[in-house]
Amino acid sequence: MVAVPAARAGGAGRGAGRTPYARRDGTRAGAGAGAGGRRHRDRYRRECGGMTAASEGGPADDTVAVVVRQWQTVRPDLDTAPMEVIGRINRCAALLQQAEDAPLRRVGLTRAEFDLLSTLRRTGRELTPGELARETFSSGAAVTKRLKLLGERGWVERRSDTRDRRVARVRLTRSGGELIDSVVPDQLRYERVALSGLPDGDQRQVAALLAELLVQLEGRLGVPPG
């Protein structure tokens, strides 16, 4: 797996100014939009925690391409094709997480805590700590620690199972449900901004390819879906 450098503050590359940024009304402000375009780009950077969606002139000049060329120079015998897929997935995930974490920081949530709350909300039922660990790909110890913190803040509550008091069940409190319902729309808005440089058709194509890859990986690694 390729080791991709951490995201640079303030943008992803020298060509950041050449990529259109989404306005709040759904239109785009490009590099040639003058002071207005610069204001929209600045606002985008602030809202997305410094992330930009730009590359340096196209896929051949992105960060992963540089890494691949370096490996090809020092080890021309290696087949670096997998790096071009896995490396870009990892790089995109790192950049997207920077953007998505901004709404969470505003309400004092970590990414892992948000995952627990959103899992309880989307499943619509009580879950055991073990089920939450499987749903969020976390260790049981980590989930227990996070649930304790969330419980202290009044966002989740635990109760003993009526048939087996050794089993705990976790559910959202009213305030926890209201919190997650208020945060998720902000998360989705950030994701739309992050993907705004791709036409809808391209987004659907990327989603389909990633879905195919995910199904294959889940099958090979023994990870159950959903």
Indicate the Cα dihedral angle 8, 11, 14, 16, nearest 10°: 160
Other C-beta atoms within 10 Å of 21: how many?
27
Q: Which amino acid is at 3?
A: A
Q: What is the mean pLDDT of residues 4-32?
A: 39
Nearest 5°: the CA angle 51, 187, 223 is 95
Asked if the model's pLDDT at residue 35 lies above 60, the reply is no
d(CA 205, CA 2): 24
Asked if the model's pLDDT at residue 113 lies above 60, the reply is yes
In which residue ranges of the chain is CATH 1.10.10.10 found? 109-193+207-226
Question: Please, what CATH class does the domain formed by 109-193+207-226 belong to?
Answer: mainly alpha
Asked if the model's pLDDT at residue 141 lies above 60, the reply is yes
Asked if the model's pLDDT at residue 114 lies above 90, the reply is yes
Closest CA to 52 of 64, 40, 60: 40
The residue that leads in pLDDT, 161 or 169, is 169
R_g over Cα of the chain: 21
The rounded mean pLDDT for the chain is 77
Asked if the model's pLDDT at residue 194 lies above 90, the reply is no
d(CA 44, CA 30): 12
Q: How confident is the model at residue 48 (pLDDT cuts 50, 70, 90)?
A: very low
Q: How confident is the model at residue 33 (pLDDT cuts 50, 70, 90)?
A: very low
